[in-house]
Amino acid sequence: GSGFMLGVGNLFGSPQPAYPPDFRTGFPVAGEAAVRAKYEAVRALGVPARAEPRIGGPTPYFVRLGPDGIAVEVSGPRAGA
């Protein structure tokens, strides 16, 4: 909605970077129900898990492994928060 787009690629055949162990990219969703729905959708696709759905502080989230083992987090505001 903000008009921002991020493209990550390897157009010039650079060596794969070394990321810190807890590096991840993330996607915010509307809330706890949306976190659960996205979790079920990616689980059904067989995407490997890094962290199953849980509450971290005030935020429900889960983490799956994307291409090249880069973690992808989906999170949203907690219901009633």
Q: Check residue 70 and give its pLDDT.
A: 87
Residue of 3, 22, 63 lying closest to 75 (CA atoms): 63
Q: Check residue 34 and give its pLDDT.
A: 96
Does an H or E element contain 26, and which? strand 24-28
Q: Check residue 1 and give its pLDDT.
A: 65
Could you give the CA distance from residue 64 to residue 73 in angstroms, rounded to a whole number?
A: 7
* 41-to-22, 55, 74, 78, 80 alpha-carbon distances in Å: 23, 19, 12, 19, 24
| Single pTM value for the model | 0.79
Q: Check residue 69 and give its pLDDT.
A: 83
Residues 53 and 36: beta-carbon distance below 8 Å: yes
Binned average pLDDT, 10 residues per bin, the chain of 81 residues: 76 86 90 95 93 93 89 90 60
